[in-house]
Amino acid sequence: MRIIAGSARSLPLKTIEGMDTRPTTDRIKETLFNMLNPFLAGCEFLDLFSGSGQIGLEAISRGAERAVFVENNKKAVNCIESNVAFTRFTEQSTVMHMDAISAIRRMEGKHVFDIVFMDPPYKKGLEEEVLRTLSDSSIINEDTIIIVEASLDTDFSYARELGYEITKEKRYKTNMHVFLRHDA
């Protein structure tokens, strides 16, 4: 696993052992960032369920001004902190060791993010729980791009009732990225 492009291009990143995280493959990450590239310069990036931190670090490497990493697993938090230090993105990074809902509530009134990326554990309904919390949150606005990495069979039929519009869906062999915007 590595940074694909930008100021930290080709730097290798650590990941934690075991099945606690599912690192996004380089091919999928490259496709994702090709779609996000026009929006990255100077943006505020929120990486929920961060795992190793590779998505937020890629965003900083490609021009994001700042990334906030939210992760509940202590081993993963240690991995993120190690990767942040190794890439020398300490000044642009904030690591929060807590669950996504608590982090969103803690950031109320302090941040507004341009891009929110989340890759929660599959098949646990966490996407809906986080999107429900975000729908009433001041950390997003109508211009915020929200991307959910999810299994191919994840149901997003509730999105409209929460005020979201699905603007794009990119399907891969084993998972997908769903792009949403919230009508503020």
- pLDDT for the residue 184: 61
Domains of the chain (ranges, CATH numbers): 26-182 (3.40.50.150)
- Mean pLDDT in each 10-residue stretch from start to end of the chain (184 residues)? 73 71 76 94 97 95 97 95 96 98 96 96 94 96 96 96 96 94 85
Residue 70: closest CA among 40, 30, 111: 111
Identity of the residue numbered 41: A
* H/E run at residue 38: helix 26-40
Cβ pair 156, 167 in contact under 8 A: no
Token output for 90: 């300490």
Predicted TM-score (pTM) above 0.85? yes
Q: What is the C-alpha separation between 58 and 72, in angstroms, rounded?
A: 20
- pLDDT for the residue 183: 86
- pLDDT for the residue 165: 97
